[in-house]
Amino acid sequence: MWAGWWLWPLVAICTADRFQEEAKKIMQAHPLIDGHNDLPWVILKRFNNQLQSEEANLNHLANTHTNIPKLKAGFVGGQFWSAYVPCDTQNKDAVRRTLEQIDVIHRMCQKYPETFVCVTNSEGIRQAFQDGKVASLVGVEGGHSIDSSLGVLRAFYHLGMRYLTLTHSCNTPWADNWLVDKGDDKAQSQGLSLFGKSVVRELNRLGVLIDLAHTSVATMKAALELSVAPVIFSHSSAFQLCQHRRNVPDDVLQLVRKNGGLVMVNFYNDYVACKDQATLSQVADHLDHIKKVAGAEAVGFGGDFDGVSRLPTGLEDVSKYPDLIAELLRRQWTEEEVRGALADNLLRVFEAVEQASNHSRPPGEELIPREELEDSCRTYYGYSEAPSLHRQPGALLASLAPALLSLRLL
């Protein structure tokens, strides 16, 4: 009965090869869209955004998770490049810094036109697939980048921004971040302030994807309730499997199902396994869980390559995507489900966001109250004359009444 024991390793190898071949065959016809890559930040940190430097050549860029050969090996056909600037730029030079990161994304497309094409809509992604290029889109990572201005938000839209992450790892004056849930930050907006709701409405009007990665649960729920279009989590995983506050809890996943939105799974070890070490199989567990709770149409990939310090064994860079797809096939995901996770789910969401947009509606003109802004490095032209910010005498007296009573002046 043991005569054929030596055959089992060969059977396992042949089976693995079959799934690998099937994964690559599917991906050749249906390339992958990744929701979040921080290569532009690496270019800033290492080369001060000087793409002409020989060391910055993306054809042989070393010591990164991402370069052109790795993108091709990973069958990446669409990429949201992160225009990220840290929270310490808030109330300082966040807008300027974000503009520079948007600029470097555009210059990547200009310098490598045989590989990248900058696009701004779902049709552009589909055309890039046909042309064998990487559809390159701008995601602005952090609401602090708009400096509490709908005008800046619209300017970013005109420069190609197609998703805005409402917060990074800091509160904005109008939205709370995930560190509130951890207890490290205090809730300021209880999710979204009145101005934060104006931001969501303006994103809907323009046709910009609302990204809830990095936000507090209250912010997630407020945006999901208010948005008239599907939302995304561009790089978040499942809280049920790793109870890190950057991940998405099951009750929110159920709201994502109702909203028609998308959770693009993050590969950072700390969000996958809640420890320094993780595996490709554990990433697949997160994909399985989101599929179970939110539906197969709600699953995507947001690897966070070049934005994290630790990645799972087997997913060391963007070239490893076929191995993850092979694992999903091994777990009996159907080809339709795999194609959804690769690109179709994101395209469906993007098209729904485009359809919900309404450029014939007047742009939002709401201003955030001046008292909600920090005074450093800021001027206030227009605030003294803005009619919407003038209080009526009766309202002003009512607002002062408690203070006056406490002073026994009434």
Active-site residues, by number, are 36, 38, 141, 168, 214, 235, 304
SS3 274: coil
How do beta strands 76-84 and 134-141 pair? parallel
- CB contact set of 57 (below 8 Å; sequence gap of 6+): none
For residues 88 and 97, the answer to whether their CB atoms sit within 8 Å is: no
SS3 137: strand
Residue by residue, DSSP assigns 159-207 as TTEEEEES-BSB-BTTB-BTHHHHTSS--SSSSB-HHHHHHHHHHHHHT
- CB contact set of 307 (below 8 Å; sequence gap of 6+): 36, 37, 38, 41, 82, 84, 235
48: closest CA among 100, 112, 108?
A: 100
Residue 375 has which token pair? 């005074």
Burial of 31 by CB count in 10 Å (0-12 exposed, 13-18 middle, 19+ buried)? buried
What type of residue is 322?
P
35: closest CA among 137, 167, 158?
A: 137
The alpha carbon dihedral of 388, 393, 394, 398 has a sign of positive
Calpha distance 27→103 (Å, rounded): 30
Block residue for tokens 């300027």 = 96
Calpha distance 163→166 (Å, rounded): 9
Q: Residues in the chain, how many?
A: 410
Calpha distance 36→66 (Å, rounded): 12
What type of residue is 29?
A
For residues 40 and 83, the answer to whether their CB atoms sit within 8 Å is: yes
